[in-house]
Structure 1
Amino acid sequence: RGGKVTAELITKDTNEREIARAMVGRDVVMKLDKAPHKPKDIVFEVKDLHVRDNRRLEVVNGVSLTVRRGEVVGIAGVAGNGQTEFIEAITGLRKVESGHIIFQGKDVTGAQPKVLREMGMTHIPEDRFKYGLIKPFPAYYNVILGRHYKPPFAKGAFLDHKEIKRYTAELMDEFDIRPRIIEHLGGNFSGGNQQKLVVGREIKANPKFMVVAQPTRGLDVGAIEFIHRQILRMREQDVGILLISMELEEIFSLSDRILVMYEGKIMGEVRPEETTVEEVGLMMAGKRLEEIRGGKL
C-alpha cells in the first residue's frame, strides 16, 4: 500500500477481510446493510426499445423496464449482450430505432444528453475515459463538465474560476479524492480516484435519476466500498437508480430488483432475496426465468 509492502500472509490462514484491511489500511465492509425497499412513483420507463450497434445489427431487442424513485434496479449480463448500446440509447448518446423512453412522465426518446441532464438525469459511464473525464483537463474543470455553462460556475459568457475552485476543493474533501490538488490532471489520478471524481460530479448534480454503469470495474476494495455507499445514499434520498454491472456480487448487494439481459432481451426479473446466483447465471446464459423455474432444463 502506498508503494510499500504492508503484510505477508499465509493463504490458508487468512481471509478476504484481512487482505482488504492490509490493502486499504482499515476495516472494509464487504457487504453493506441496505435500508428497507420503499419505492415511490415511477421516474423512468423504457417501452419496447430497439437499438442497433455500429454495424447496424439489432443488439437491443424489445427491452421494457421501469425504475421508481428510491430503488436500485440492476441489469446483469455478460459483456457484449447489448448493455453498452442500451446505456447509450437511454442517455441520448445513440439513436433509438423504435420504442419509447419516458423520464418523469415525458417522452424523451431521441433527446440530447444536455436536455436529459437539465431534467435531472445523470450518468456514471462504463468507460470513464470516453465519456466521464477529459484526461488533459485539471480536476477543477472535470468536476463541472455538463454544468459548466450555467450558474454557479458561469457568469454570463465567462467561467467563475473562484467558485469552480472552491466547489472542486469541497467535492474532493467530501468524496475523499486524492491527491487533494484541484490542479491535478484528470489522467494522472489513480483509477479509483478518477472514478470517485466522476461519481462525485454526478451525485453533486442533485439527480432525480441515475444511470450507473460498471461503477467499480478495476477498482480496489476500499474504492468499491465507498462507491457502493454513495449509491445506497442516493437511493435513500429517493433517487431512482439503474445499475448495469457484470459483477453479480455488486448486483445482488445493491439492487432491489434484478433484470438479466441476454442477446439484447430481458430473460427475467427477480428480487435478490428470492433468487440465487445460479438462477441469475442461467439467465445470463440465455435461459428464460419461466423455463428455469418450470424445470425444463
Structure 2
Amino acid sequence: MHALVGENGAGKSTLMKTLYGMHRPDEGTITIDGAEVTFHNPADAIAAGIGMVHQHFMLADNFTVLENVVLGTEPKTGMSLDFKAARAKIKEISARYGLGVDPDSLVDNLGVGERQRVEILKVLYRGARILILDEPTAVLVPQEVDELFGNLRDLKAEGLTILFISHKLDEVLSVADDITVIRRGTTVASVEPGEVTARQLAELMVGSALPVPELRESTVTTTPVLEVSGLSVTGSDGRTVLSDMSFTIHAGEVLGIAGVEGNGQAELVEALMGIRPLAGGRVSLQGKDLAKESTRDRRDAGMAYVPEDRHRQGLLLEGTLWENRILGHQTKAPSVKAGGLLLDRKGAREDTERIVKDYDVRTPGIEVAIASLSGGNQQKLIIGREMSGNPVLLLASHPTRGVDVGAQAAIWEHIRRARAEHLAVLMISADLDELIGMSDRLAVILRGKLVAEYDPKSVTPEELGSAMTGAGEGVS
C-alpha cells in the first residue's frame, strides 16, 4: 500500500491520471510486472489491470448502481443484456469486501460516502489488480475510515497493489507501507512510516508545520442570527428525514454539526437555503421569517453557502474563474450594473482578481477554466466568493474536504477572521478534529435529530464518534 502526499497543485492527481491513461507523459516510463507499458487512454490502463477512484466521482446520477458499474462493459447473453449475472456479481463483491452496496439503488439518492463505495466496487468489478484512490477518506467519518482501511488491507492480502493520495497524514502513517512526497511536480522524499512523524511529512510537503484548527478567544455575542424552531423535512418518498430540530446561532459563533454521513446533514443545509421545502417548523434570519423566501431572497438577506461537493453544487467546471465568481451573486454589484439589468464583466473580473490575491488562489489567471485548478484552489475561490457581499450567516458544509494542509490552514484563518467580525457560522464536517477545534458549540445529528450537545473544550473525538453512532446519546 503506497501513499502519495503533497500540497494541492503539487501534481499528485496529474501523476495518478497519467498512470490511468488520462494524460500522456512527455518523458519517462511506466512499468507493470517488469514490462514497460504505454497507455493511450483509460481503456488501456483498465485492460492492464489498473482501476482508479477519483476524488470527484464519475457516476451518472440518473442511473442505478448496477447500471453505473457495468457501463461500458455490459454483460450479454446472446443478443440480450444479462443484468441478472451482473447483479449477482455486484452483490458478491459488495458482500466480500463489506461495501454494503445495493445494485438497484438510484445513484442520485445516495450520500457521498455511498457513492465512493460504488466507485470502489466499479473498479473491482472490472478486475483491477492495481487500485488508485484519490483522497479515499475525504468524505468518511472515523468509523467508516476504519472499515475502508480494513477493506484495503483485505485487498492487499489478496495481492492487489494500492496507491492512494491523501492529505490526512496520520492516516497515511497508520496504513501505508511506503510514502512518496512530491512538491511542485518533483519527488522530494520517499520514506517509510516508521521514519517520520506527521509534522515532518507536513514540512516536506509545504515547508511548514502541520496546522492546528483552533478558534482562540471567544467572539460569541448575545445577538441571534439564525433561529431554527421545530424544523421538520420529508424526503421525496414521504419519509421524515429531519424531525423537530431547534437551535440558535449567534453573531460571532460557530456551531459545529457532527454526524455519520446520511443522517440529515445535507437535508438540513438544503432546507436552510430554501432548496428543500419544510414540512414544519420555523427558520428566521435576523428575526425575519424565511418560510416564503426563495434561495435568491435568502442569499440577498445575507446567507452564504459552501456546498459539500464543489463540483456538483458549487462550480461550473468549464467556466472561467470570473464567471464562477458571479454564481449566487447575479443580483449584486460588482457582478451587475444598471440596477441589476446588465452583467458587469469588468466589475466581476476585478473582484475575482481581488479574491485570487486575498485568498491565495493559485492560478495562471482568471480567464482559465476553473476545472484546471487543483481542488484546494477551487475551494479557496468558493470561500472567497461566499465571503464577498458581507454575509451574516455562512453555511459551511465540509469546507476543507479534499484540500491540503496549506489550503486547510488558510480556510480556517478566513473563517476565524469572519467570526471575529461577527459572522455566524454553521459548520458541518466529517473531520472531528476540525469540528472540535473550530466550533464554539458542538451538536450531534443522528437519524435526522439533534441528539447531543457538547463543549468543544472538553469533548474528545471518541466521545463524539460514540454519540454519532447512537452509543452515546444525551446532552452533555
Provide the C-alpha distance between the structure 1 equivalents of 2:276 and 2:210, rounded to a whole number of angstroms.
38
Q: Which residue of 1 aligns with 2:278?
A: 96
Q: Which has the higher contact order (CA 8 A, sep 6+)?
A: 1
Q: Residue 207 of structure 1: SS of its match in structure 2? A: coil
Unaligned runs of 5+ in 1: none
Amino acid at match of 2:431: E
State the structure with more CA Rg: 2
Equivalent in 197, 203, 209 of residue 393 of structure 2: 209
Q: Please give the TM-score of this superposition, normalised by the length of structure 1.
A: 0.93
Using a 3 Å threshold, how does the CA distance of structure 1 residues 137 and 231 change in structure 2: closer, same or farther?
same
Using a 3 Å threshold, how does the CA distance of structure 1 residues 275 and 161 change in structure 2: closer, same or farther?
same
- The answer to whether 1:172 aligns with 2:356 is yes
Q: Residue 18 of structure 1: SS of its match in structure 2? A: helix
Residues 220 and 250, structure 2, Cα contact 8 Å, conserved in 1: no
State the shift of 1:62 in Å: 1.1
Provide the C-alpha distance between the structure 1 equivalents of 2:215 and 2:206, rounded to a whole number of angstroms.
20
Larger displacement relative to structure 2 (185-194 or 73-82):
185-194
Q: How many pairs were matched up?
A: 292
Amino acid at match of 1:269: E
Q: Which residue of 1 aligns with 2:427?
A: 243
Q: Please give the TM-score of this superposition, normalised by the length of structure 2.
A: 0.59
Unaligned runs of 5+ in 2: 1-182
Equivalent in 415, 418, 429 of residue 231 of structure 1: 415
Q: Which residue of 2 aligns with 1:73?
A: 255
- The answer to whether 1:83 aligns with 2:259 is no
State the shift of 1:150 in Å: 3.2
Provide the C-alpha distance between the structure 1 equivalents of 2:376 and 2:334, rounded to a whole number of angstroms.
27
Q: Which residue of 1 aligns with 2:227?
A: 45
Amino acid at match of 1:100: R
CA offsets 1:81-119 (integer angstroms, 9 cap, x no match) = 011111100011111111110110011024211101111
Q: Which residue of 2 aligns with 1:183?
A: 367
Equivalent in 281, 285, 290 of residue 465 of structure 2: 281
Larger displacement relative to structure 2 (18-27 or 125-134):
18-27
Q: Which residue of 1 aligns with 2:57?
A: none
Residues 122 and 205, structure 1, Cα contact 8 Å, conserved in 2: no
Using a 3 Å threshold, how does the CA distance of structure 1 residues 50 and 288 change in structure 2: closer, same or farther?
farther
Amino acid at match of 1:44: L
Residues 40 and 238, structure 1, Cα contact 8 Å, conserved in 2: no
State the shift of 1:37 in Å: 4.3
- The answer to whether 1:220 aligns with 2:404 is yes
Larger displacement relative to structure 2 (41-50 or 280-289):
280-289
State the shift of 1:288 in Å: 5.3
Q: Which residue of 1 aligns with 2:454?
A: 270
Q: Once the two structures are aligned, what percentage of the paired residues are identical?
A: 36
State the shift of 1:227 in Å: 0.9
Q: Residue 217 of structure 2: SS of its match in structure 1? A: coil
Residues 124 and 199, structure 1, Cα contact 8 Å, conserved in 2: yes
Using a 3 Å threshold, how does the CA distance of structure 1 residues 288 and 32 change in structure 2: closer, same or farther?
closer
State the shift of 1:180 in Å: 4.1
Alpha-carbon RMSD: 1.7
Larger displacement relative to structure 2 (128-137 or 207-216):
128-137
Provide the C-alpha distance between the structure 2 equivalents of 1:161 and 1:31, rounded to a whole number of angstroms.
37
Provide the C-alpha distance between the structure 2 equivalents of 1:243 and 1:96, rounded to a whole number of angstroms.
21
